[in-house]
Amino acid sequence: MGGPFARPHPHAYSLVAAGKLLSFSVTLKNVGAMDADEVVQVYLSDPEASVPVPIHKLVGFRRVHVSAGKSKTVRFSLPSEVMLFVDANGDQKLEPGQFRLTVGSCSSGPRGMALGAPESVNAIFTIT
């Protein structure tokens, strides 16, 4: 995460069918000498979609205060609807396949890294 934060560590997440929640948590550690706030951002990627979709879609975020030298676990529960996309016919669709969650202080990519953001954490999961 930005500034005095160490790389977040993902924790167990449960993966789900349509209509259910995708639940997971990350732990932030403030390795700095001062209290700080961080905005934890969650992005979803669908690399196997049958139509073009955004590379990263922001699906959740939370501002978190972490005291100096302390850690804080942040929990997210996302509805499966965040995995829907609109197909060529204009219908919302959830396709089976692999998805990727990326958690960090910005969307992953060279621009964020160039601005000093630490590496994001990725988790791959499959919808059947």
Whether 3 is in a domain gets the answer no
Q: Which domain holds residue 47?
A: 9-127
Whether 60 is in a domain gets the answer yes
| Banded pLDDT at 21 (limits 50, 70, 90) | confident
For residues 39 and 50, what is the distance between their CA atoms, to the nearest angstrom?
A: 32
Nearest Cα to Cα of residue 7 among 124, 119, 90, 116: 119
Give the total number of structural domains in the chain: 1
Whether 1 is in a domain gets the answer no
Mean pLDDT of 76-105: 87
For residues 14 and 86, what is the distance between their CA atoms, to the nearest angstrom?
A: 25
Whether 80 is in a domain gets the answer yes
Whether 87 is in a domain gets the answer yes
**pLDDT-above-70 percentage for the chain:** 85
pLDDT of residue 19: 62
pLDDT of residue 44: 92
- Global confidence as pTM: 0.81
Whether 2 is in a domain gets the answer no
Q: 46 pLDDT exceeds 60?
A: yes
Whether 54 is in a domain gets the answer yes
CATH number for position 93: 2.60.40.10
Any idea what the Cα angle at residue 59 is, between residues 105 and 15, rounded to 5°? 105
pLDDT of residue 5: 53
Whether 66 is in a domain gets the answer yes
Range of lowest pLDDT (2-11, 69-78, 86-95): 2-11
Mean of pLDDT over the chain: 80
